[in-house]
Amino acid sequence: MPSLAGMPAEQIIESMMAFKKGTRPAIIMDRVSRGYTDDEIKTMAYFFTKQPLKQWDDTTLAESVAAQAAGSIGAPK
Amino acid sequence: MSQLENKTFDQKVTRRDLIKLFGASAVAASGIFGASSQAFAKSAAHVVILGGGIGGSTFAKYLRFADADVKITIIEQYPEYITCLRSNDVIAGMHTLDELTFNLETIKSKYHVNVVIDTVVGADFNKKTVRTAKGDNFSYDKLVVSPGIDFKFEDYEGYDAELAATDFPHAYKAGPQTLKLREQMLNMRQGGTAIIAPPQNPFRCPPGPYERASFFAEYFKKHNPTAKLIVLDPKERFTKDVPFKKAWERLYGYKSDNALIEWVAGSEGGRVVRLDAATKTVETDGGDFKADLINIIPNQRAGVLAQKLGLTNASGWCSIDRYSMESELHKEVYVLGDSAIADAMPKSGFSANSQAKVCAKAVADTLKGKNLEDPVYANVCYSLAGENYGVSIAAVYEVRDGLIQPKGESAGVSEVTELTAQPILESVYQKNWQRQFVKDVFS
Amino acid sequence: MKNNLLVSTIIGLNVFAMSQVTHASSTEKPQVPAWTGAALAETISAMPKGDIQRGQVVAKDMMCIACHGEQGKPYTMNFPSIQGQTQEYTMKTMIDYREGRRWESYKRADVMVKIAENMTDQQIADVSSFYAAQTTTAWQKPTATYEQAKALVTTGDMSRMVMACAGCHGAEGQGNGVTPALAGQIPQYFVRTMQAFHEKDRVNDVNGMMDQFTKGLTPEEIQAIADYYASLMC
Ligand SMILES: Cc1cc2nc3c(=O)[nH]c(=O)nc-3n(C[C@H](O)[C@H](O)[C@H](O)COP(=O)(O)OP(=O)(O)OC[C@H]3O[C@@H](n4cnc5c(N)ncnc54)[C@H](O)[C@@H]3O)c2cc1C
Ligand code: HEM
């Protein structure tokens, strides 16, 4: 399962839009994505992009809270 | 959703915005609320949760995220909780019950929740207290009830809880019965007949009986190829029936001459009305079926505790306010999970978890005197139609016209495609999801 | 009730012990011998000839394109680029997944393991030749550390026993046989892979060479090299 923390917002938005339109083959995201408006997708993307990027492990709650407080951009670029 | 519009990249997304959207999905790992651990003030509100299963445990954790200062108590009857999720895998031998067993230790220590192992026997909604079997009383400011389900044995002449605990396990609460059913499947004579009788709607885990049927067929295919499984269903259709039946065709010869699995609809005499335990025969509207193994999954209603507390209506389930999960019968009492009437949402662990998050936010906001926001719920039911063959149903939900309904065009079951990898990937996702999910609930 | 539960749990464990034999493949890391150069060469040369057209069909049927993109360039940073990868390396990778050599961090790779377990040698050869036939494009623009990384990649640093990557992976990062192409690779994936080699979480390379060659690199240098390769195209 891909992790979304620290993922560039454009990649999240593009993926969600592609799932929604059906241009990217999906297992489950086709249906999940159709439940959200474009604005909601953007809001979520901006949230995830600010979470600290962790390669192997899940982002913990404490890390997430700290990242939010600092308004960090998790992705390196 | 108006307050979400016009957000730019640089604007800080508030936690409020997010919980609203996520109500919803499994994002615990990136936590949205923020918690602190401080000593609780005497005047702090006390929220008491009855039942530490999927709904109750998730609620406790997420209420802590939403409110660092509130006092939280869970009263749960058993020291250990065995998740029903993946309990069909135990029947198939892909999991042990141990791997599905959890406790509330992490919830207690990490989120400062008071955990009481005791059985709740009554409540006084006027005095706002609950009573336990050991004779303790707990007073609450808000009460949250998530007691799961109860079985309607009375719908089947000759079947009762005692038979279920011995030779005719329903195995629809994970535990000893799950193992018993596995043992019966393994020991069934070559060329024997097994019957699975799913319940009438609504019931916990709508795909559960059909996943179980698939596992029986998969086992027979490998180890008892002349055996047969008959699914005696009171219904005309069931959840994900299109992809399930396709899988049965592909894997178990469904509809062919040597089908390992046969499905009988209600109109074809599928509704079981009686069990003759002595002769191992079930009677349906359409006649008698004799079998070597009989697995009746009884019709259901809200958990005994919900009935006892007077939270159920004539349907046998608990009607709730769709914005908060607060009981429509008793103020300041909230009902989560299988016991609640949640309209289009199926009775699943995923739903219970999603409802618990919405409810945690609603309770926290109410305690702080804030207005409630429009909730977003979500559910995905992943099932296996074989060890490496997954099928799913998914939807995101909102409240519309007073009912919980799919949001946007989100509702749907797995498309049946000719792509080899699709069911394989679904089965992998199913396992990944389960791993993440129990973390979200219990740790 | 509690006693009952206990007893049955014990019974259950016995039952399971029995059944584990048949299901070991899905839960336990298989015991596979590490590659020697000779064994790897032999395995790869024994693979059937791949067909690009058939490979395109396999890429769709096995849903590679859902994660790695239509031509092997992924939609997002979460999945590696396999665009223009050498046929030999893609074949080796699929065999490693299938046989359990790439069980490292199973939780991330389990999608690949399951997919590979369901593929024949012919399908693996076909899909690998399809991806080998695609042109590699850059994933990102060159960064400020480009020149520093280029120096390291092309000449190495013998004082620290850091070998020149280009020696094996090609001057343009185009790869060579079972040595993978690195051009256009997703930097996050690159960094993660290096970390896996260091932590011996990934051990499917011949003679554990990758760990030896890269031991001396600092995390900053690894990031710089990742960014460098991500900006190359062939
Ligand atoms: C075979 C099977 C497979 C399933 N698979 C899935 C799946 O893959 N995905 C999914 O999402 N869902 C699945 N489910 C459904 C899921 O298990 C339930 O929907 C979920 O557990 C409901 O949560 P709940 O909080 O309402 O009840 P429960 O989780 O049952 O929790 C109720 C808790 O209340 C406690 N309790 C009850 N009465 C009292 C009392 N008087 N005093 C104290 N404590 C009390 C109980 O001990 C229990 O711990 C499956 C179910 C089955 C049967
Ligand atoms: C609002 C919540 C969600 C958002 C914003 C979201 C977003 C995304 C995005 C952007 C991707 C692409 C990742 C990549 O390519 O690197 C993705 C993939 C995926 N997501 Fe989600 N997701 C959400 C909820 C869920 C839920 C609830 C599940 C499962 C229960 C899920 C399961 C998956 C899976 C399995 C993939 C792999 C791709 C596929 O579907 O084929 N997601 N998601």
Is the pLDDT at B13 greater than 70? The verdict is no
Is the pLDDT at C229 greater than 60? The verdict is yes
B247-256, B273-282, C9-18, C224-233, range with the lowest pLDDT: C9-18
- Domain for residue A48, yes or no? yes
Binned at pLDDT 50, 70 and 90, residue A74 comes out as low
- The span from the CA of B276 to the CA of B290, in Å, is 9
- The span from the CA of B340 to the CA of B322, in Å, is 10
- The span from the CA of B250 to the CA of C119, in Å, is 18
B44 touches B368 (CB < 8 A): no
In this structure, the number of other CB atoms found within 10 A of the CB of residue C147 comes to: 11
- Domain for residue A62, yes or no? yes
B343-347, B381-385, C107-111, range with the lowest pLDDT: C107-111
Q: Test C65 with A77 for CB contact under 8 angstroms.
A: no
Binned at pLDDT 50, 70 and 90, residue C24 comes out as very low
Mean per-residue pLDDT, B413-434: 89
- The span from the CA of C200 to the CA of C206, in Å, is 13
Mean per-residue pLDDT, B160-183: 97
CATH class for the region spanning C146-230: mainly alpha
Kindly list the partner chains of chain B, i.e. chains with 3 or more CB atom pairs below 8 Å: A, C
Please give, rounded to a whole number of angstroms, the shortest distance from the CA of C67 to a CA of chain B: 11
**Chain A interface mutation, best of B6, B7, B30, highest count of A Cβ atoms under 10 Å:** B30
Segment C101-151, tens digit of pLDDT: 887 665 678 889 999 999 999 999 999 999 999 999 999 999 999 999 999
- Domain for residue A27, yes or no? yes
Q: What was the pLDDT predicted at B438? A: 94
Which residues approach ligand 2 with their CB closer than 6 A?
Answer: A 1-2, 4, 12, 15-16, 26-29, 32, 44; B 25-26, 380, 429, 433; C 66, 75-76, 78
A29-38, B30-39, B114-123, C135-144, range with the lowest pLDDT: B30-39
Quote the DSSP letter at residue A46: H
Residue B359 C-alpha to ligand 1 middle, in angstroms?
17
Residue nearest to ligand 2 atom 10, measured at CA: A12
C-alpha dist (Å) from residue C88 to B45, C35, C100, C131: 65, 14, 18, 11
Segment B135-160, tens digit of pLDDT: 999 999 999 999 999 999 999 999 99
Q: What was the pLDDT predicted at B222? A: 96
Domain ranges of chain C: 2-19+36-132, 146-230
Residue B206 C-alpha to ligand 2 middle, in angstroms?
23
Segment C70-107, tens digit of pLDDT: 999 999 998 999 999 999 999 999 999 999 888 766 56
State the number of CA atoms in the 13 A half-sphere of B133 facing the CB. Answer: 10
CATH number for the domain spanning A65: value is 1.10.760.10
Beta carbon pairs, A and C, within 8 Å: 38
Q: What was the pLDDT predicted at A1? A: 66
- The span from the CA of B147 to the CA of B120, in Å, is 10
Q: How many domains does chain A have?
A: 1
State the number of CA atoms in the 13 A half-sphere of A73 facing the CB. Answer: 8
Q: Which A residues in the span 17-46 are in contact with C, Cβ-Cβ below 8 Å?
A: 18, 24-27
- Nearest-ligand number for the alpha carbon of B82: 1
Q: What was the pLDDT predicted at C106? A: 59
B377 touches B24 (CB < 8 A): yes
Binned at pLDDT 50, 70 and 90, residue B10 comes out as very low
Euclidean distance between the first and final Cα of chain C, in Å?
A: 68
Quote the DSSP letter at residue B168: S
Q: Which A residues in the span 55-74 are in contact with C, Cβ-Cβ below 8 Å?
A: 55-56
Radius of gyration of chain A (CA): 13
- Domain for residue A19, yes or no? yes
Q: Which two tokens stand for residue B258?
A: 């040597």
Residue with tokens 């014990």: C10
- Domain for residue A46, yes or no? yes
Segment C138-189, tens digit of pLDDT: 999 999 999 999 999 999 888 888 889 999 999 999 999 999 999 999 999 9
Q: Which residue type sits at B397?
A: Y
Binned at pLDDT 50, 70 and 90, residue C195 comes out as confident
Domain enclosing residue A25, as ranges: 9-70
Segment B35-83, tens digit of pLDDT: 333 468 888 999 999 999 999 999 999 999 999 999 999 999 999 999 9
Residue B128 φ then ψ, to 5°: 60, 55
Q: What was the pLDDT predicted at C10? A: 29
Residue B225 exposed, middle or buried by CB count within 10 Å (0-12, 13-18, 19+): exposed
Q: Which helix (H) or strand (E) holds B181?
A: helix B176-187
Nearest CA in chain C to B184: C15
Q: With an 8 Å Cβ cutoff, is C109 touching chain B?
A: no
Please say whether the structural domain C2-19+36-132 has been given the CATH code 1.10.760.10: yes
Q: Test A11 with C65 for CB contact under 8 angstroms.
A: no
Residue nearest to ligand 1 atom 34, measured at CA: B51
What mean pLDDT value characterizes chain B?
A: 90
Q: What was the pLDDT predicted at B129? A: 97
Q: Which B residues in the span 380-419 are in contact with A, Cβ-Cβ below 8 Å?
A: 380, 392, 394-397, 406-412, 414-415, 419
The proportion of chain B whose per-residue pLDDT surpasses 90, expressed as a percent, equals 84
Q: With an 8 Å Cβ cutoff, is A14 touching chain B?
A: no
For chain B, domains (ranges, CATH) are 3-150+301-374 (3.50.50.60), 164-298 (3.50.50.60)
What mean pLDDT value characterizes chain C?
A: 85
Is the pLDDT at B4 greater than 90? The verdict is no
- Domain for residue A75, yes or no? no
- Domain for residue A20, yes or no? yes
